[in-house]
Structure 1
Amino acid sequence: MSPEPARQTSPEPARQASSEPAQPASPEPARQAPGPEAEAVIRVRDLAVAFGGRTIFSGVSFDVRRGEVFVILGGSGCGKSSLLKAMIGLFPPAAGTVEILGQPVLSEDDKARQALLRRLGVMWQSGALFGSMTLAENVELPIERHTRLPPRARGEVARAKLGVVGLGDAAGRLPAEISGGMAKRAGIARAMALDPPVLFLDEPSAGLDPITSAGLDELIRGIARDLGTTFVVVTHELQSILAIGDRCIMLDKEAKGMIAEGDPRVLRDTSEHPVVRAFFRREPMAERG
């Protein structure tokens, strides 16, 4: 299937070609990406986030298709993590709406809202594991809270989830006894505890060495391929974006909104937006303002 054409949110004048040699192409994701006809499981419309009267971004609209790895990218301070938090209802947006699996995230029906949130998994940047609990006990937490499974069954599910992320032999270890990459994997296992169809990952590769980061990328691609899980991944790690992303949006701090949307490899190779080009080609830019 040919890659979907990338979309820029505002036209920009063409930029003179760089004299630097072209960057080598990154390998394509080793799976068939969902096509344009795939069902949209997340719909974001005209979303705006503001703090203390200061607008972080506004007018953000996009869909996330079932089974794809969708990446939210951009430079520091552009609002990537704020967008993720608004999408899962951690705070109300200044404007706009978010629907996931056909339901509004900020529903006035509290039971419906809680039921929807149980169908979403979230992994925060640090893994957010409880240090006094083993990895298995950390994964069991949402199972204990949201199901009536007996302790033995909860433990079996937790060990199975840890096995999915390659930590089957580490179930009895404490977070202080494992590496940063293992903590990220354990965080993903806990996010998967209730078999959610949608997983949100906040900066999964942050602080990891290239080899560990590549292994985490392989894990994300494998889960999407084998389980059909939809991922929304917040990151600014270029190699991970190109390795895992089926589609992406790019936020920009100066524009206070989206400046591009599409296949990240297409954006890298064809975008004429100066900020998009600089990001994907790792080129310095003059200060704006």
Structure 2
Amino acid sequence: MGEVVLRVEDLAARFDGRTIFEHVSFEVRRGEVFVILGGSGSGKSTLLKRVIGLYPPAEGRVAILGEAMEGLSGEARNALLRRIGVMWQSGALFGSLTLAENVGVPLEQHTDLPPEARALVARAKLGLVGLADAAGRLPAEISGGMAKRAGIARAMALDPPILFLDEPSAGLDPITSAGLDALIKQLARDLGTTFVVVTHELQSILAIGDRCIMLDKAARGMIAEGDPRQLREESDNKVVRAFFRREVLD
């Protein structure tokens, strides 16, 4: 068992008095690919936004790399957030910047590297995701799969030990999705990076996930935790079984 790099305790999210989820607790260990899964409306992306501090939780605590988020403010909070990387669903690239310039944005904002060094780092990160030859292209000139890879490269710009990916396979064809899954596994293995991946794509979950939690809209919280392959075969929860076996609920 490796070091715990993310600890979530009794987290809850509410909007206008309506509970999205509550009593969510889990741990992520260094080097894992940890998946947050569930059906539409179960609160996966809402959970992600609270874990990384975009919004405060209604209840509960989050600790990243041993530091409690709720106890941090100002520069101490910013310093911790610089140690995580986030890729949003579409890649969220700046349309007027090349891929290399997109990857260079965090370097420009958070380091004192000169432009030449930033450009070298950006190209190196793009090389890690298979986009070395596309460094000079604009987002409009590349495919959706390439945009997601570029988003991962930008999330890696500051060498964070944890990467959060929001629906990385959404909207991709099966071959492109499989290639992205392979990339995530390779980066986790080669760099020792911890990945927390939000997705409902079953094939990706089974391909990349070391462990997972499952959220459920009706239950307003977690209904499963463990190895996704084991949950598929052994879970006695009918919702979990239906999800992993693509079955219709009675």
Corresponding residue for residue 282 of structure 1: 246
Helix, strand or coil at the partner of 1:259: strand
Q: Offset of 1:104 from its aligned partner?
A: 1.4
Corresponding residue for residue 11 of structure 2: 47
Helix, strand or coil at the partner of 1:129: coil
**1:200-211 equivalence runs, <5 A:** 200-211=164-175
In structure 2, what is the Cα distance between the partners aligned to 1:129 and 1:52? 32
**1:117-128 equivalence runs, <5 A:** 117-128=81-92
Corresponding residue for residue 194 of structure 2: 230
Equivalent residue in structure 1 for 2:24, among 49, 52, 60: 60
In structure 2, what is the Cα distance between the partners aligned to 1:188 and 1:52? 34
Identity %: 77
**1:271 and 2:246 matched:** no
Note the alpha carbon deviations across 1:156-199, whole angstroms, 9 max, x for none.
Answer: 00000000000000000000000000000000000000000000
In structure 2, what is the Cα distance between the partners aligned to 1:151 and 1:279? 48
**1:120-159 equivalence runs, <5 A:** 120-159=84-123
Equivalent residue in structure 1 for 2:213, among 213, 227, 249: 249
In structure 1, what is the Cα distance between the partners aligned to 2:156 and 2:183? 13
In structure 1, what is the Cα distance between the partners aligned to 2:103 and 2:71? 28
Is the helix fraction higher in 1 or 2?
Answer: 2
The runs of 5 or more residues in structure 2 that have no matched partner are: none
Q: Offset of 1:110 from its aligned partner?
A: 1.7
Helix, strand or coil at the partner of 2:70: coil
Q: TM-score, normalised by structure 1?
A: 0.86
Corresponding residue for residue 7 of structure 1: none
Corresponding residue for residue 176 of structure 2: 212
Equivalent residue in structure 1 for 2:45, among 78, 81, 95: 81
Equivalent residue in structure 2 for 1:191, among 155, 166, 169: 155
CA RMSD after TM alignment = 0.6
Corresponding residue for residue 62 of structure 2: 98
Q: Offset of 1:151 from its aligned partner?
A: 0.2
Helix, strand or coil at the partner of 1:106: helix
In structure 2, what is the Cα distance between the partners aligned to 1:108 and 1:163? 35
Q: TM-score, normalised by structure 2?
A: 0.99
Q: Which amino acid aligns with 1:214?
A: A
Q: Offset of 1:52 from its aligned partner?
A: 1.1
> 8 Å contact 1:67–1:228 — kept in the other structure?
yes
Corresponding residue for residue 165 of structure 1: 129
Q: Which amino acid aligns with 2:48?
A: L
Note the alpha carbon deviations across 1:97-141, whole angstroms, 9 max, x for none.
Answer: 000000112334321110000000000000000000000000000
Runs of 4+ that moved beyond 3 A = none
In structure 2, what is the Cα distance between the partners aligned to 1:187 and 1:143? 14
Helix, strand or coil at the partner of 2:45: helix
In structure 2, what is the Cα distance between the partners aligned to 1:85 and 1:285? 29
Aligned length, in residue pairs: 250
Helix, strand or coil at the partner of 1:144: helix
> 8 Å contact 1:246–1:264 — kept in the other structure?
yes
Corresponding residue for residue 12 of structure 1: none
**1:259 and 2:228 matched:** no
Q: Which amino acid aligns with 1:100?
A: I
Helix, strand or coil at the partner of 2:71: coil
In structure 1, what is the Cα distance between the partners aligned to 2:193 and 2:77? 21
Helix, strand or coil at the partner of 1:64: strand
Q: Which has the larger radius of gyration?
A: 1
Q: Offset of 1:148 from its aligned partner?
A: 0.2
In structure 2, what is the Cα distance between the partners aligned to 1:237 and 1:184? 15
